[in-house]
Chains A and B, each alone.
Chain A
Amino acid sequence: MEALLAELRAAVNAELVWSLVQALLILLVGFVLSRIVRSRSAAVLQRLGLETYSGILVVSASWLVLAIAVAAALQHLGFDLSVILGAAGVFSVAIGFASQTSFSNVISGLFLAMERSFSVGDVIKVGTTMGEVLSVDLLSVKLRTFDNLYVRIPNEVLVKGEITNLSRFPIRRADFVLIVPYGEDLDRVRDLLMELAMREPLAMVEPKPVFQILSTSELGVQLQFSVWAARERFLDMKTATQIGIREALDDAGIAHPLPRRVLVHEPPPGTEPTAG
């Protein structure tokens, strides 16, 4: 009887050891697969033009593979996954409450990856922050501003708010708003500005510059002169044209109207105005 029990125990132990070995093998395969996903998916994402978001996508994919391997290994050992998942559910609710913001950022990062609104190297504006995108990570996007500050913006903020990508299109338009005094010949002003744009090599001939009257104010007529430039030369064009406008208007004797106040001194009633 004892011998039979010992034999039975040995058989059970052998089966358990064998199951453990198999579970470990499953884990090992899962781990290797996860490493492969991590190393190879970067190249695949680059081919798909998603390299900017590879940080989020690669980590998510490799974790998913690893999680499936762990679940398969546990199931192989005879664990009831539904019980484990139930327990995990309760646990994850607790964790979820504690790390709600982080999960929101991860999910927002996946939405950003799907939308592809910007890439690493693009210049974007989020709220009042403008800068070059350094990286798009699991929880946040890192920017370098033009005054060389490092700014971290949570993915959630980017999904919820407005993003302006200044690098998406190859050409950009600069709008110059100026005020000319009432009585000035607006046709003459338009000709001056158009001639200026023709002279400035960085200002594009086409799309043509646009001259329009915006409004009238107490100072004079408010105009907008819009000129296009290649994205890379935008700032150079903007500066050169701004200086050119000032010089052209000065040379033509068109003054920039300044706020004027007329002070009228009236003597108190009953007194005679004094001379001098």
Chain B
Amino acid sequence: MIEEERVAATGDWWGDFTLEEERSALWRAGTLALRVTRQQSEWRMAWRSEPDEAAPAMTATVPAEDLDDTWELRRYGFSTTTAVGRLVPALSDRTIVSRPAIPVAVPPGQSIDLVVTTPLWLRAECEGLAINELPTLRLSDTWFGASTREGQLCYAARTHLRPARELGEVSGWRALTTVRVINRAADTLVVERLALPVPRLALYRHRDAFWTSTITLERPLESSEEAQVTVDPAPPGPGAVRIGEPRETADEHPVSRVFNSLFG
């Protein structure tokens, strides 16, 4: 069975793939177009950003060919190459600051489960080594901090903060994160922007979608107290399969600090 037939049969565009010498495999996901070529002693990766977003798919394997300069190209030398490579989804390498299209208000004493989506990264592994990582959507830089002197470099994204129950169709190149917001304070909490510490989250495959660890954000009764932010170590649902580890080790304090700014 050739590779695209296998993909068509299983629907999985990610995971192991096989590639004969002098042939290329093509993928589309989000705005990313990716082309992996196998040669006798090197793997080549070429990628470019397309104007339109597309559902993730492995489109074809084709004979290797010269590419025009709209592609960014990189070569990885090995003493010899084997036919099996791997393309795995991963989460962003920086915190993603999401601004909801419409701010969400959480009245005093209420809690709500919101779902935030963030673009996936694709990691190519050849000969057992991770050789490159690319985002499925190129995000703009942004700064998240109290001042221009202190803070952290993040990615910016616009998102729909949807209640978990109203979750509609989600692009296959995005990961979903459930954020449980608990407002114990006496006034309404308006979520105008959300800094999602994505590098601290694990990635799961669940209900035919990519999910991350669940985050709980608890606003205390007293405004002087720090917000409690916890990353749930449990899977996001029964039957979820863990497919990616957090990039950074769990450290409660910086996460709390990130979310504290939310209330500012």
- Does B149 contact A233, Cβ atoms closer than 8 Å? no
Interface residues on A, range: 10 to 19
For chain B, the bracket of interface size reads: 10 to 19
| Per-residue contact bits, chain A 191-228, to B (CB 8 Å; 1 contact, 0 not) | 00000001011111111000000000000000000001
Bound-state Cα–Cα, A203 to B142, Å: 8
B49 to chain A, nearest CB (A): 9
Residues of B126-155 at the interface with A, using a CB-CB cut-off of 8 Å, are: 138-144, 148-149, 151, 153
**Quick one: CB contact mask for A229-271 with B, threshold 8 Å, 1 for yes?**
1100100000000000000000000000000000000000000
The answer for the CA separation of A203 and B138 in the assembled complex, in Å, is 12
CB–CB A170/B141 < 8 A: no
**Is A97 interfacial (CB-CB < 8 Å)?**
no
- On whether the beta carbons of B151 and A203 are closer than 8 Å, the reply is no
Q: Which B residues are in CB contact (< 8 Å) with A198?
A: 140
Q: Roughly how many angstroms separate A171 CA and B149 CA in the complex, as a whole number?
A: 8
Which chain A positions have C-beta within 8 A of B151?
A: 170
The secondary-structure label for the interface of chain B is strand
> Of the candidates B138, B140, B148, B149, which one forms a contact with A205 in the assembled complex, judged by CB atoms under 8 Å apart?
B140
Query: B97 at the A/B interface (Cβ < 8 Å)?
Result: yes
Q: How far is the CB of A70 from chain B (nearest CB, A)?
A: 47
Cβ contact within 8 Å between B153 and A203:
no
Contacts of B140 in A (CB 8 A): 198, 200-205
CB distance from A14 to the nearest CB of B (A): 69
- A172 CB to closest chain B CB (Å) equals 9
Beta-carbon contact of A233 and B148 below 8 Å:
no
B156 sits at the interface (CB 8 A): yes
Q: Which residues of B contact A204 (CB under 8 A)?
A: 140-143, 156
A91, CB-defined interface residue at 8 Å? no
B148 touches A206 (CB 8 A): no
Binding site for A on B (CB under 8 A): 97, 138-144, 148-149, 151, 153, 156
